[in-house]
Structure 1
Amino acid sequence: MRYLLTLLATFATLAAQAGPPQLLLDVARFRNLNKVEKGAEVEIYVTVPTQSLQYRQRAPKAFQSSALVTLDILKADGTSAYHEVITLKPPVLTDTTIAIKNPQSFLKRILLPDGKYTLRGTVKDQYRSAGGETTVEKPLVLEAPAGPFLSDVVLLSRPAAKSGGDDNFARGGYRLTRAPGGSYGRGADNVFFYTELHNAPVGQALRVHYHLTTPDGSAADADATLTPQSGRPTSIAGQLPMGPLPDGPFTLFVEVYGGPGNKKLIAGHRAIGEHSAAEYAPAGAAVPR
């Protein structure tokens, strides 16, 4: 009887701890290299914070959660361009009072023709019958300017590392570890990022300017030089120190300048992130060792 009461109390605690399941969708658009069919390679980085999932006791000192993630990409007319269902099984825990439960992340790369789409992600907590589902939608526009342009800027939780590997975490000769939701938490002292430059004048050294700013006017800046590659996009990987930037949202601008004295803006893009020095941010998933 005492064990039963303890077990019931444990389930009550787990149900109280679990709020609505959370889903983070980070989307980055890169141009594909197919010259016949113009389009983009869309990277969808999905993160499910397991703090928001309910854990079920499967054996003495063995607790586990389970989530079902559905990804849909809908065309402008409402028809499906992509559909997939993924089951996430976080590692078994021996103690559900652990304050930090590692999130579950995965990345999908999808080739799509240019056009307008809607990305829809749904997470369902498989151990809850009520209030256990959350849906997130994002507009997705795929198009390419005629002149020089930057792809989406991807925020990283660690520096882009040179790599010759060929997997979902490698791009442009780098291995990338994303910062889920663009969040930087306790212990983060730098913002790391990656993007690609297209259609830039070849053979001319360009100036790349990085600018980090917050709503209160705090800012950090840095410059670098870049020589575009011929026939392929040019990778840009960099970092900026957090320094005294306050908690809250920040905006990172990446700008490329050319022309006489490298003073003419020829391409630019931005990314929005969040800094919270008092909390742990979801760790980015990396390629398995």
Structure 2
Amino acid sequence: MRFLLLLLIALGPVAAQAAPPQILLDVARFRNLNKVEKGGEVEIYVTVPTQPLTYRQRAPRSFQSAATVTLEILKADGKSAYREVITLRPPVLTDTTIAIKNPQSFLKRIMLPDGKYTLRGTVRDQYRAANGETTVEKPLVVEAPAGVFLTDVVLLSRPAARSGGDDNFSRGGYRLTRVPGGGYSRGAENIFFYTEMHNAPAGQPLRVHYHLTTPDGSAADADATLTPPSGRPTTVVGQLPLGPLPDGPFTLFIEVYGGPGNNKLLAGHRVIGERSTAEYAPAGAAVPR
């Protein structure tokens, strides 16, 4: 009987950590190029850190966690516009005491008519009953500004690479590796970014100004020239060095100038990220199997 009790304890869940599970929702809105069905294409990049998850022993030196993610988009009247449940099963570990456990990420592209919505993401630790669920909500507005405009800016962990593929991680002819939560940790020397410019005058060279700043006044700037093509959005990709910028939040401003001398502001957008040189994270979150 004593042997059986010890065996049950050995095969039971690894002691749960006090912290509840975490979920990061990164949302980027792009325009639907279908002229008949107007609206937006919303990219939702979901990241679940596996560090707080409970690991269950499957066999000697074999541990695994599991979580479910429920993604919902609610209309302004509370009715559902989208709902899906995804199961995540991180890779098996031989030792749960290791300091680094890779996060699990996936990306969903959803077509939505213009309007106001609420994005809701819920993660549930499948091996923990108490304190095992976390819900995050974000307001979501899908609309097309008048005139020249930039879509949401996506922060990347590596340069946007030319790609002929057509999958969820490709956009505008580039392969994009997103930064979960906009966080750049130890070892990151540059930020990389991607956005799209719409309704710009075709064939006219424009000046694009990049401004990276932090609350303490530290800043970095760069300029580039783009000539928009006819009939399709202009992809805007680039990078800026983090250099001596301090830890903490930073804001990247992207501004497009045209007109005489390229001095008239046509469009602008910004994105907020975070730098933390005291923490380590993999260059890109692992895609769930």
Q: Normalization by structure 1: what TM-score?
A: 0.95
Give, in angstroms, the shift of residue 145 of structure 1: 1.1
Secondary structure of the 1:52 match is coil
Give the structure 1 partner of residue 93 of structure 2.
Answer: 93
Instruction: Return the letter of the residue paired with 1:14.
Output: A
- The within-5 A match list for 1:161-180 is 161-180=161-180
Secondary structure of the 1:261 match is helix
Secondary structure of the 1:51 match is coil
Provide the rounded CA distance (Å) in 2 between the counterparts of 1:212 and 1:281: 22
Provide the rounded CA distance (Å) in 1 between the counterparts of 2:162 and 2:144: 27
Q: Does 1:212 align with 2:216?
A: no
Secondary structure of the 2:51 match is helix
Give, in angstroms, the shift of residue 9 of structure 1: 8.5
- The within-5 A match list for 1:33-182 is 33-182=33-182
Aligned residues: 287
Give the structure 1 partner of residue 15 of structure 2.
Answer: 14
Provide the rounded CA distance (Å) in 2 between the counterparts of 1:157 and 1:280: 13
* Change in CA separation of 1:287 and 1:14 when aligned onto 2, cut-off 3 Å: closer
Provide the rounded CA distance (Å) in 1 between the counterparts of 2:237 and 2:126: 39
CA distances 1:162-207 after superposition (whole Å, capped 9, x unpaired): 1111000000010000000000001000010000000001111000
Give the structure 2 partner of residue 273 of structure 1.
Answer: 273
Provide the rounded CA distance (Å) in 1 between the counterparts of 2:119 and 2:139: 6
Q: Does the 8 Å CA contact 1:247/1:276 hold for their aligned counterparts?
A: yes
Give, in angstroms, the shift of residue 284 of structure 1: 2.6
Give, in angstroms, the shift of residue 81 of structure 1: 0.3
Q: Does the 8 Å CA contact 2:11/2:56 hold for their aligned counterparts?
A: no
Give, in angstroms, the shift of residue 280 of structure 1: 1.4
* Change in CA separation of 1:2 and 1:198 when aligned onto 2, cut-off 3 Å: same
* Change in CA separation of 1:276 and 1:4 when aligned onto 2, cut-off 3 Å: farther
Give the structure 2 partner of residue 222 of structure 1.
Answer: 222
Secondary structure of the 1:135 match is strand
Q: Does the 8 Å CA contact 1:169/1:286 hold for their aligned counterparts?
A: no
Q: Does the 8 Å CA contact 2:11/2:59 hold for their aligned counterparts?
A: no
Give the structure 2 partner of residue 257 of structure 1.
Answer: 257
Provide the rounded CA distance (Å) in 1 between the counterparts of 2:10 and 2:278: 30
Give the structure 2 partner of residue 234 of structure 1.
Answer: 234
Provide the rounded CA distance (Å) in 1 between the counterparts of 2:3 and 2:214: 54
Aligned residues with identical type, % of pairs: 82
Give, in angstroms, the shift of residue 286 of structure 1: 7.1
Secondary structure of the 2:15 match is helix
Q: Does the 8 Å CA contact 1:183/1:281 hold for their aligned counterparts?
A: no
Provide the rounded CA distance (Å) in 1 between the counterparts of 2:4 and 2:271: 52
Provide the rounded CA distance (Å) in 1 between the counterparts of 2:150 and 2:105: 26
Instruction: Return the letter of the residue paired with 2:222.
Output: A
Instruction: Mark the runs of 5 or more structure 2 residues left unpaired by the alignment.
Output: none
* Change in CA separation of 1:19 and 1:284 when aligned onto 2, cut-off 3 Å: same
CA distances 1:4-46 after superposition (whole Å, capped 9, x unpaired): 669858978632x351000000000000101112100000000
* Change in CA separation of 1:237 and 1:3 when aligned onto 2, cut-off 3 Å: farther
Give, in angstroms, the shift of residue 230 of structure 1: 0.8
Secondary structure of the 1:14 match is coil
Secondary structure of the 1:202 match is coil
Q: Does the 8 Å CA contact 1:160/1:175 hold for their aligned counterparts?
A: yes
Q: Does the 8 Å CA contact 1:206/1:226 hold for their aligned counterparts?
A: yes
Instruction: Return the letter of the residue paired with 2:252.
Output: L
* Change in CA separation of 1:188 and 1:6 when aligned onto 2, cut-off 3 Å: farther
Provide the rounded CA distance (Å) in 1 between the counterparts of 2:265 and 2:45: 30
* Change in CA separation of 1:70 and 1:59 when aligned onto 2, cut-off 3 Å: same
Q: Does the 8 Å CA contact 2:247/2:274 hold for their aligned counterparts?
A: yes
Q: Does the 8 Å CA contact 1:25/1:47 hold for their aligned counterparts?
A: yes
Q: Does the 8 Å CA contact 1:161/1:174 hold for their aligned counterparts?
A: yes
Secondary structure of the 2:203 match is coil
Give, in angstroms, the shift of residue 73 of structure 1: 0.3
